[in-house]
Amino acid sequence: MGKSIDINVHHVTRVEGHGNILVKAQDGKIEKVEWQVPEAPRFFEAMVRGRNYLDIQTIVSRICGICSVTHSLAAIKGVEDALEIEVSPQTDKLRILAHYSEQVESHSLHLGYLVAPDLLGVNSVVPLVASHPDVVKTVISLHKLGNQWMELLTGRMTHPVTIVPGGFTKLPTEAELRGLQKKIKEGIPALNTLKDVILSLASRLPAFDRPTEYVAVKDKSVYSFYHGDIASTDIEKTEDVHNFESCVNEYVSPQSTAKWTKWHRDSYAVGALARFNVNADLLLPMAKDVAKEFGLKKGCCNPYMNNVAQLLELYQVAEHGLQLIDEVLTASIKPEKPVSRPKAGEGVGCVEAPRGILFHRYAFDARGNCTRANICIPTGQNHANIQKDFEVLVPQFMDRGQDELKLIMEMLVRSYDPCISCSTHFLNIDFV
């Protein structure tokens, strides 16, 4: 085409954190395609050293405002693994329920506030208030549902208070859980509205396939976000979470303050599409139907379809959340207090953040003070994959011209629902 392209997006907008996109092409020859992560590093693994095991989740929750429940749970699981603390089935179920609230809050925020403006051709959700009031109303109702759900289980929206090693500092009442059940049921029609909107705009998601490795948590009988081993679409057997370092193979890239990862290939992807590709058979009926409506099948390697995978996960956690509440109510809530005591040991916690698999490892001395920590964050695991996507995508879409290419690249980054604060923080596009 003989085109010259110069894209330099310094701090991509409508993502969590700071990232840059840089593309340089002269006379149709690509000179540079780069995904840069300049977020200010925050050094959490260094900062938790010396802190008591009871304070760890309070600190690491602050890695990310949008995944604070997930980080808290990963830390608590790591602490409990290290200190050999067992929790009751009630605690386990209520934690999964708390964790689901974050998937609802985060996925609805991402799809409604960050992605929908791209599909509807505007700069933000603000103009949609006038042009698509029903869509905005629907998104607000779902986002609110996630927040109220989170506040009930964890004590507030963002940075949970009640979830601690050994259990909950405050339990919801049965009446409150029944109230939540009612709200979730009332949320299903709103989900259907959001689904219909996205379905009507799905053709605007770029057709772009690039086979890669997908990594997610896998449990025996449920589409899991919380329990299980590490599964990859490149291998048959699963890997124990205690060996996570040998799966993520972190390395420092000069393009990024967040560490990058690779396993069986140059890069791998984590997140809703990875979970779907690993666990699709275990989806509950509503989510399965949504997959069918969108023609989403296991093995999909279009990164833009991560948005659709998030949508069907909203159905999945709503349906499974209702079941969990039924189970807790049937057993009736017992007034359990969190029990824990210090002990030397080392442990790993692994859970799925809305944007992908998350690992925390901690070691403690006999007083229960942390001596060492290692945290591997989902967005960090996606950075290398975004770079590889860019390298294939730019030559394919260069003919569309600078503005459209820029939008397609920004949409790609948003599809991964990056949380750059988490991975340090990221997103700028530099087309130079």
For another protein, give the closer residue by CB, 162 or 233. 162
- Binding flag, residue 364, another protein (CB under 8 A): no
Amino acid 367 reads R
Q: Cα angle at 351 between 339 and 324, to 5 degrees?
A: 70
Of the listed pieces 44-52, 81-89, 260-268, 398-406, which binds another protein according to CB under 8 A?
Answer: 44-52
- Binding flag, residue 333, another protein (CB under 8 A): no
For another protein, give the closer residue by CB, 191 or 305. 191
At its nearest, how many Å lie between another protein and the CB of residue 138? 12
The contact pattern for another protein, residues 130-169, with x = CB under 8 A and - = no contact, is ----------x--xx--x-------xxxxx-xx-x---xx
At its nearest, how many Å lie between another protein and the CB of residue 66? 6
Question: Which one of 29, 84, 89, 126 is in contact with another protein (CB under 8 A)?
Answer: 126
Contact set for another protein, span 244-283 (CB under 8 A): 252, 254, 256-257, 259
* DSSP letters spanning 410-427: HHHHHHT--BHHHHS--E
At its nearest, how many Å lie between another protein and the CB of residue 136? 9
- Residues 161 and 376: their CA atoms lie apart, in Å, by 23
For another protein, give the closer residue by CB, 170 or 334. 170
At its nearest, how many Å lie between another protein and the CB of residue 346? 16
At its nearest, how many Å lie between another protein and the CB of residue 298? 33
- Residues 409 and 407: their CA atoms lie apart, in Å, by 5
Whats the size of the chain, residue-wise?
432
Closest CA to 418 of 9, 10, 14, 16: 16
Q: How many residues bind another protein (CB under 8 A)?
A: 59
- Residues 409 and 35: their CA atoms lie apart, in Å, by 10
At its nearest, how many Å lie between another protein and the CB of residue 280? 30
For another protein, give the closer residue by CB, 17 or 271. 17
- Binding flag, residue 78, another protein (CB under 8 A): no
| Token couple for 347 | 């442990």
Question: Which one of 20, 68, 306, 310 is in contact with another protein (CB under 8 A)?
Answer: 68
- Binding flag, residue 40, another protein (CB under 8 A): yes
Q: Using CA atoms in the order 96, 97, 102, 108, what is the torsion angle rounded to 10 degrees? A: 130
Closest CA to 430 of 118, 13, 29, 36: 36
Of the listed pieces 20-28, 39-47, 221-229, 394-402, which binds another protein according to CB under 8 A?
Answer: 39-47
Q: Are 336 and 91 in contact (CB under 8 A)?
A: yes
* DSSP letters spanning 69-105: HHHHHHHHHHHHHHHT----HHHHHHHHHHHHHHHHH
Question: Which one of 5, 97, 125, 202 is in contact with another protein (CB under 8 A)?
Answer: 125
For another protein, give the closer residue by CB, 87 or 283. 87
Strand-pair category, 427-428 with 229-232? unpaired
At its nearest, how many Å lie between another protein and the CB of residue 59? 5
Strand-pair category, 213-218 with 268-269? parallel
| Token couple for 126 | 């603000």
- Binding flag, residue 46, another protein (CB under 8 A): yes
The contact pattern for another protein, residues 12-31, with x = CB under 8 A and - = no contact, is -xxxxxx-------------
Of the listed pieces 23-31, 38-46, 176-184, 350-358, which binds another protein according to CB under 8 A?
Answer: 38-46
At its nearest, how many Å lie between another protein and the CB of residue 137? 8
- Residues 30 and 387: their CA atoms lie apart, in Å, by 14
Contact set for another protein, span 399-428 (CB under 8 A): 421, 425
* DSSP letters spanning 329-378: HHH----PPP------EEEEEEEEETTEEEEEEEEE-TTSBEEEEEEE-H
SS3 430: strand
Of the listed pieces 125-133, 182-190, 216-224, 311-319, which binds another protein according to CB under 8 A?
Answer: 125-133
- Binding flag, residue 175, another protein (CB under 8 A): no
Q: Are 28 and 3 in contact (CB under 8 A)?
A: yes
Question: Which one of 3, 6, 65, 238 is in contact with another protein (CB under 8 A)?
Answer: 65
CA 173 to chain centre: 29
Task: Give Cβ neighbours of residue 373 (< 8 Å, ≥ 6 apart).
Answer: 44, 45, 48, 49, 360, 361, 362, 363
Residues near another protein (CB under 8 A):
11, 13-18, 38, 40-43, 45-52, 55, 58-59, 62-66, 68, 109, 113, 117, 123-126, 129, 140, 143-144, 147, 155-159, 161-162, 164, 168-170, 252, 254, 256-257, 259, 421, 425
